[in-house]
Amino acid sequence: MNDVHLYLQRQNNTMGISERKAKEKEELKSLILRAAKKLFVEKGIEQTTIRKIANEIEYSVGTVYVYYKDKNDILYDLHTQGFKHLGGEMKVLFNVADPMERLKALGRVYLQFAMENPDMYDLMFSMKAPMEFLDSVHKEEWNEGKSTFDVLRATVHQCMEKGHFNGHQLEPLSFCIWSMVHGMASLHISHRIKGVNLSDPETMLMKGFDEFVLMLDKL
């Protein structure tokens, strides 16, 4: 009985060590990602190096290389993280039965994400990425990025099936809608809305989106 108890205790200790190591590994990986995002936003992607990321978290360069093969690998992971977050919030709206109402809600969720996560949004959509990173995205499967746009495209398609957007093409229209909302988000994040003579720049983002919604209703 004592031998069985001792064996089980050793098994539990081993599991505890494994779980702790796995947790420490994830925490260090998250630390690297947070530092990289900060530096990418502050200094630009091209000017950020693995050494600078390592210095930021006060670890050796070799430690960073244990988790990521290069800077583009980190950038890819950050993009995936951002699109997973945005895509998760957008997919919840599939519970909205009316596709037109869902389309409007998707736009609001997108803008809310941009306002709450300006640095991540900048990294996902606005910052110039190295060509090697862009090439790797095209060559590899990037499910989170693709599925986020697919949510929009599927909703626009369902709108068309309900009689909306007659005479329009699915993908160009989906791209046009995304571009319009993206432009609003980007102008807000870059504070360009405050740079022109608007009566109430603080509320202009959502008021502008409401005007866009009225235009969609007429298509």
Q: What is the pTM assigned to this prediction?
A: 0.81
Burial class (CB in 10 A: 0-12, 13-18, 19+), 71: buried
Write the CA distances from 8 to 4, 5, 123, integer angstroms: 6, 5, 48
Token digits of residue 189: 């994040």
Q: What is the pLDDT of residue 19?
A: 76
Structural domain boundaries in the chain: 1-68, 71-219
Comparing 1-68 with 71-219, is the CATH topology the same?
no
What does the alpha-carbon distance between residue 149 and residue 153 come to, in Å, rounded to a whole number?
A: 6
Q: What is the pLDDT of residue 57?
A: 92
The letter for the amino acid at 1 is: M
Q: Is 207 helix (H, G, I), strand (E, B) or coil?
A: helix
Helices (H), the chain: 2-43, 50-57, 61-67, 71-91, 99-116, 118-121, 131-139, 143-161, 170-189, 204-218
DSSP summary character for residue 196: S
Return per-residue pLDDT of the chain as tens, 219 residues: 456 555 556 656 655 666 777 788 888 999 999 999 999 989 888 899 999 999 999 999 999 999 998 888 898 889 888 988 998 888 889 889 999 999 999 999 999 999 999 999 988 887 776 656 666 665 566 666 678 889 999 999 999 999 999 999 999 999 999 999 999 999 999 888 887 777 888 889 999 999 999 999 888
Token digits of residue 205: 């983002």
CATH number given to 1-68: 1.10.10.60
Q: What is the pLDDT of residue 12?
A: 62
SS (H, E, C) 102-159: HHHHHHHHHHHHHHHCHHHHHHHHHCCCCHHHHHHHHHCCCHHHHHHHHHHHHHHHHH
What does the alpha-carbon distance between residue 183 and residue 110 come to, in Å, rounded to a whole number?
A: 12
Cα 169 to its chain centre, rounded Å, is: 26
What does the alpha-carbon distance between residue 140 and residue 62 come to, in Å, rounded to a whole number?
A: 26
At the fourth CATH level, which superfamily is domain 71-219?
Answer: Tetracycline Repressor, domain 2 (1.10.357.10)
Angle, helix 204-218 to helix 99-116, in steps of 10 degrees? 160
Write the CA distances from 87 to 27, 57, 173, 196, integer angstroms: 23, 29, 20, 32
Q: What is the pLDDT of residue 27?
A: 87
Token digits of residue 100: 């037109």
